[in-house]
Amino acid sequence: MSVNTHDNHAGLREPVPGSPHDRRPGGGASPRGHTPRGHTPRGRIPRWNWRTAQSVKGASFTFPFLAGFALFVLVPVGMALRESVYTTKSTGGLGFGGQTVSFAGLDNFAAGLVDGPFWAGMLRVFLYALVVVPLTQVLSLALALLLDAARRRTAARFRIALLLPYMVPGIVATMVWIYQYSPTVGPLTPFFEMFGLDVNFFSSSMVWVSMGNLAVWGAVGFTMLILYGALQSVPHEVFEAARLDGASELRIAWSIKVPFVRGSLVLTSLLSIIGTLQLFDQPLLFRAVTPETITRDFTPAMMIYDQAFKVGNLNYATALSVILALVVGVASAIIYRFTNREES
């Protein structure tokens, strides 16, 4: 009988690749406690690789913003919600004596929802926004289109000049324009008298025009700068192709440039609406000149200020501020949804 004299002289079979008896390089089971490269043992936390470390480093740059947002936005909102569900009453007469704080639930919100002067001021601000916001957007878009059509050096000069009113603080700008509107020392009243017009900028029929002019003067530069930046991102090849097809500059502006900046128009419109509904500093300073026209509850923000610091009803003022914030949020969401639907 012949014996098989192959590599396995003892008659043992060749190990099956991948079996525990396979000791060849790369074959068989791994020793106990050894994990193949690229695999993580069950129950162990994977080590950070270079990409994870870079992601954490990048996210750490947002920590100052998140800390400031939590400290100056979230914490005040929480404190406002807490104050709005309480009521404070004085135990003594004429403001003397102690104070008792009691839980009021939603009573302050219920009173705010039926407060006539508060919602009358909201209506005034809403009608004011219907005129000021579209006028600001139209003027800013026209200026941005003109600057985009001009040379870069000329556009840079006018861009800085148009942005200067936005750099002026609101209180300072209001005081400057009150001086301009003054019938005794201002230059505007004598200017209109030259044409036989008797214009009183502080009358009940003109006070909204006076404040609207101030708002447009201060906001046009900032809005124009955003729209001009959006126009700079439009590919110039599109304009060249339109010119080769025989399109005029007016047609290019209306059919190509305006649709490209529609998203920026939505953004600036939302910012203008939010700022308009919180109108405060302008009527507050105008009230010092014409108190018979601008009352203490002329706008919602003025009424909140009066309730908090003049009347001393901080709980009710906080509830009104929460209601105002909700109105601003709902109005912004509706406008964004409508404009986004039109764009799609």
The dihedral over CA atoms of 295, 126, 145, 235, expressed in degrees to the nearest 10, equals 140
Question: Does 66 share its domain with 172?
Answer: no
CA–CA separation, 325 vs 122, rounded Å?
12
Residue 20 within a domain: no
Q: Which domain holds residue 244?
A: 115-343
Q: How many CB atoms lie within 10 A of CB 47?
A: 7
DSSP string, 287-341: HHH-TTTS-TTSSHHHHHHHIIIII--HHHHHHHHHHHHHHHHHHHHHHHHHHHH
Question: Does 80 share its domain with 138?
Answer: no
107 contacts 194 by C-beta, under 8 angstroms: no
**Least confident stretch, 131-135, 156-160, 328-332, 340-344:** 340-344
CA–CA separation, 12 vs 19, rounded Å?
15
Residue 231 within a domain: yes
Alpha helices (runs of H) in the chain, residue ranges in sequence order: 50-60, 63-69, 75-84, 107-113, 116-149, 152-167, 170-181, 188-193, 207-232, 236-244, 249-252, 258-260, 262-277, 281-289, 300-306, 314-343
Question: Does 74 share its domain with 167?
Answer: no
Which tokens hold the place of 266? 């939505």
Question: Does 300 share its domain with 167?
Answer: yes
| Per-residue confidence (pLDDT) for residue 300, from 0 to 100 | 94
Among residues 69, 103, 137, which one ends one of the domains?
Answer: 103
CA–CA separation, 199 vs 201, rounded Å?
6
Question: Does 217 share its domain with 83?
Answer: no
pLDDT tens digits for 169-223?
888 999 999 999 998 888 998 899 999 888 889 988 888 999 999 999 999 999 9
pLDDT tens digits for 229-275?
898 888 888 888 888 888 888 888 888 888 888 888 988 988 888 88
Question: Does 127 share its domain with 260?
Answer: yes
CATH number of the domain that 129 lies in? Answer: 1.10.3720.10
Residue 232 within a domain: yes
pLDDT tens digits for 301-315?
999 999 999 888 999
Structural domains of the chain, count: 2
Q: What percent of the chain has pLDDT over 90?
A: 35
Question: Does 173 share its domain with 65?
Answer: no
Question: Does 185 share its domain with 99?
Answer: no
The closest alpha carbon to 201, from 214, 218, 216, 220, belongs to 214
Q: How many CB atoms lie within 10 A of CB 313?
A: 17
